Amino acid sequence: DKKGNLLIGTEHGGLNIFNREKEIFTHPFDNYPELRYQEVSVNDIIEDDKANIWCTLECEIFKSFMSFDPFFE
């Protein structure tokens, strides 16, 4: 993404984000109860001009508000 994080979409494991500066992974879908306990597959990831991360999942489009997450500041 624009902040230098590595976004990894997985099959049945959701979205993983590696913060290169802190050298840690985060799993943003854990913040969304409707996705937390599902085996979510991420097909595509795109960042818009407002730094929102959009993911296409198996049957829906998901907008993550990662730009407001303290992990990314």
CA dist 21 and 32 (Å) reads: 25
CA angle (9 as vertex; 5, 12 as ends), nearest 5: 145
pLDDT at 66: 45
Q: What's the pTM value of the predicted model, to 2 decimals?
A: 0.71
Rounded CA separation 30/50 (Å): 22
40 vs 19: which has the higher pLDDT: 19
**pLDDT tens per residue across span 50-61:** 888 888 887 665
Q: Report the alpha-carbon distance of residue 64 to residue 51 in Å, rounded.
A: 10
Spatial separation of the C-alpha atoms in residues 27 and 15, rounded to whole Å: 6
Does residue 72 register a pLDDT over 70? no
Is the model more confident about 24 or about 12?
24
